[in-house]
Structure 1
Amino acid sequence: MTLSVRRGLATLGRTATIVGRLLGIRDSPVPDEWTHVTKIDPERGKDLPLCFPLYLQHTSAVEVGGSTDVTDANTEETLELVANRPRPAIQEPSGVKQITERTRSLASFMAIPEVLNGDVESLIGTLGAGVEYLDEELAPEAVESAAGWLPPWLADPLTEAAVDWILASAAFEAYIVMNPDSAAARESGVTADDLLDPRTAKRRAMAAERHLDSEIVYLEYSGTFGGTEATAILEAISEGVSRPQIWYGGGLGNREDARAVLDAGADAVVVGNVFHEIADEQRSTVRRALTALDHDADRAAIASWIDDAVDVSASSAASYLSTNLDVARPTERAREYLITTIATALALEAVRAELPADPDLAAVADAVARADPPVLDELDGVVDRDWARGLLVAALADSLGIETDRPVQHLAAPIAHS
């Protein structure tokens, strides 16, 4: 493909984009209807609840990414678990080598971060390294895999087109990082001197919209709630931009804070830490329940124990569900999901007790199928029943030291390892 042809195609693309905007047509991969995004960190130790699809049915989408200890392997593992179970997943890479053919096939699209108030490396250097990786490694490997028989004079322009396609199908995520003590700030070079007032944030968001073509403007407080400062910034940004979706993330754990940022102009809230905290709390709670309850305890007995032993209203599960304004009675729903989780753990422990010595994977699968754990009924209509049963088989097998092909090490499975 000659330089003149590429320039002509680029001009045609820009013209089509401008015409589309005049006609009110959005070409962003980010749906307007997303109002709640759950951010899942692939880092080991950032676990998922055992019955995580029950919770994820109440979010609009899942964003997989983190700032530290993220690799291509743990990103693939996490996407294998959560993509379309039951909500679409997107990948937010923090390093270029986290993007693989497998992550691209699992994720609906990539959200490429661009930090507007960080150092030059976080805005230009990282993107440049990413484009180089796509151009010199990922795209050539994909073309070689799909059409290795092509001669270079055809393969080379096809590789260039593949790079353009990958970038065109991604969403560019313009970050404003406002917690200088966070990992995101350290990775992007944001210090206390780089924090933005509302007018400056508005101007940078406008530049991101007009110059960078960012599909998302993300105000990030990383584990702390921005309060009135954040709502003032959101109001300013929403006055300045019209095309990008405005996301807010940081410290959300109740309905009031979520409503405040949405009312201030955010299109979607992003919750992350509190979702992983559900797993941490449930691991402890379920282990107590396994000691206190018989393996054949019914839902009524489990509910009675919970009412005596757990303050569900103060749980991370209730906090997480309350951040979605469309979820009615989040505390009651969190209680039901905890009952299901405990019932499932009891059923798996009962299966373990009935297994022969040194069982293989087939024996575990047969035993789980006979037990028909209650979570399978709860998950009907949320995820595929056979997939859910396979996940429970893998969790139990892993606890017995039996190798499986499911990445269950990311689950907070409350069954004791042998």
Structure 2
Amino acid sequence: MVDRWMEEWKHVFKLDPDKELDDEALDALCLSGTDAVLVGGSSGVTYDNTVDLLARLRRYELPCALEVTTLEGVVPGFDAYLVPIALNSADADFVVGRHAEALKRYGHLLPREGVVAAEGYVIANPDCEAARVAKAKPVDEADIVAYARFADRLLRLPIVYIEYSGAFGDLAAVAKAKAAMTNARLFYGGGIDGAEKAAAAAQVADTIVVGNIVYQSLPLALETVRAVKS
């Protein structure tokens, strides 16, 4: 199970340290009523740009979690650290290799306070940057359900994250994955660019993650909060 306060997350904004976001936009996002901010990106994440974003976020009373995609971007001071396991990667390094290496080098630095949790990632859009970086194998509906069940029932992971990054996904597949799980919390991300898609995704996932639209249209990004919260 995820930590109790994570169980209350319905809507999360995902902010990329490698992308520009002015103070006015950040203020609007953090005061929008979203439940948390997830910090992470597929490329360009460094210690410097991550610590800069965290310092700006700490002006707000909002949970901040770091999605750990590179050791160079690990910064102390987040409320939670979410570690992706790319379940459909063709490269074992993205399933266990890099994680074991990281723990061998830095395991003694794991925070005693705060939350460290693994996310079972299913990268379902083969054309996205995350799929390229993680060498993700294409998946169909049956694969998505199988990976979700594997992460939930066998690995006992607290979070299953179905990621379509840049495209709006197959919500029927997401719903079937959710139905196949018994304990994990289901995160959905990808292509949520307004109220209608946010509401639809929230019907089948426990938590929706809204990212790209933040940098394309702030008003549409804010609409996603109202759609979920209403």
Question: What TM-score do the two structures reach when normalised by structure 1?
Answer: 0.51
* Other-structure match for 1:75: 50
Q: Give the Cα separation in 1 of the matches to 2:189 and 2:2.
A: 24
Mapping of residues 257-336 of structure 1, within 5 Å: 257-263=197-203, 265-277=204-216, 316-324=217-225, 325-326=227-228
Pick from 95, 110, 117: which aligns with 1:171? 117
* Other-structure match for 2:73: 98
Q: Does 1:133 align with 2:88?
A: no
Secondary structure class of the residue paired with 1:133: helix
Query: By how many angstroms is 1:27 displaced?
Result: 5.4
* Other-structure match for 1:15: none
Relative to structure 1, the CA distance from residue 189 to residue 27 in structure 2 (aligned partners, 3 Å threshold; closer, same or farther) is closer
- Whether the 8 Å CA contact 2:159–2:184 is kept in 1: the answer is yes
One-letter identity of the residue aligned with 1:97: E
Query: By how many angstroms is 1:111 displaced?
Result: 0.4
Pick from 155, 173, 190: which aligns with 1:250? 190
One-letter identity of the residue aligned with 2:20: D
Query: By how many angstroms is 1:164 displaced?
Result: 8.8
Relative to structure 1, the CA distance from residue 203 to residue 30 in structure 2 (aligned partners, 3 Å threshold; closer, same or farther) is farther
* Other-structure match for 1:53: 27
- Whether the 8 Å CA contact 2:2–2:158 is kept in 1: the answer is no
- Whether the 8 Å CA contact 1:91–1:109 is kept in 2: the answer is yes
Q: Does 1:208 align with 2:180?
A: no
Unaligned runs of 5+ in 1: 1-25, 143-162, 278-315, 329-418
Q: Give the Cα separation in 2 of the matches to 1:327 and 1:213.
A: 29
Q: Give the Cα separation in 2 of the matches to 1:30 and 1:233.
A: 27
- Whether the 8 Å CA contact 2:188–2:207 is kept in 1: the answer is yes
Higher normalized contact order (CA 8 Å, seq sep 6+, divided by chain length):
2
Higher strand share: 2
Bigger radius of gyration, 1 or 2?
Answer: 1
One-letter identity of the residue aligned with 2:223: S
Q: Does 1:85 align with 2:60?
A: yes
- Whether the 8 Å CA contact 2:145–2:177 is kept in 1: the answer is yes
Q: Does 1:197 align with 2:140?
A: yes
Q: Give the Cα separation in 2 of the matches to 1:231 and 1:276.
A: 24
CA deviation profile, 1:35-66 (whole Å, cap 9, x unmatched): 111111111xx111332222222211001111
One-letter identity of the residue aligned with 1:268: T
CA deviation profile, 1:65-99 (whole Å, cap 9, x unmatched): 11111111211111111136241110011112322
- Whether the 8 Å CA contact 2:122–2:161 is kept in 1: the answer is yes
Unaligned runs of 5+ in 2: none
Pick from 71, 89, 98: which aligns with 1:118? 89
Q: Does 1:239 align with 2:182?
A: no
Query: Could you tell me the percent identity over the aligned residues?
Result: 30
Q: Give the Cα separation in 2 of the matches to 1:199 and 1:110.
A: 30
Aligned-CA RMSD value: 2.1
Relative to structure 1, the CA distance from residue 164 to residue 81 in structure 2 (aligned partners, 3 Å threshold; closer, same or farther) is closer
Q: Does 1:65 align with 2:33?
A: no
One-letter identity of the residue aligned with 1:243: N
Secondary structure class of the residue paired with 1:113: strand
Q: Give the Cα separation in 1 of the matches to 2:98 and 2:40.
A: 15
Query: By how many angstroms is 1:197 displaced?
Result: 2.2
CA deviation profile, 1:251-304 (whole Å, cap 9, x unmatched): 1111111121222x2011111111123xxxxxxxxxxxxxxxxxxxxxxxxxxx
Query: By how many angstroms is 1:240 displaced?
Result: 1.0
Query: By how many angstroms is 1:180 displaced?
Result: 1.5
Relative to structure 1, the CA distance from residue 174 to residue 129 in structure 2 (aligned partners, 3 Å threshold; closer, same or farther) is same
* Other-structure match for 1:388: none
Secondary structure class of the residue paired with 2:80: coil
* Other-structure match for 2:129: 183
Mapping of residues 332-351 of structure 1, within 5 Å: none
Query: By how many angstroms is 1:187 displaced?
Result: 1.2
One-letter identity of the residue aligned with 2:142: R
Higher helix share: 1
Relative to structure 1, the CA distance from residue 256 to residue 177 in structure 2 (aligned partners, 3 Å threshold; closer, same or farther) is same
CA deviation profile, 1:306-348 (whole Å, cap 9, x unmatched): xxxxxxxxxx1221012122567xxxxxxxxxxxxxxxxxxxx
- Whether the 8 Å CA contact 1:29–1:171 is kept in 2: the answer is no
* Other-structure match for 1:387: none
CA deviation profile, 1:348-375 (whole Å, cap 9, x unmatched): xxxxxxxxxxxxxxxxxxxxxxxxxxxx
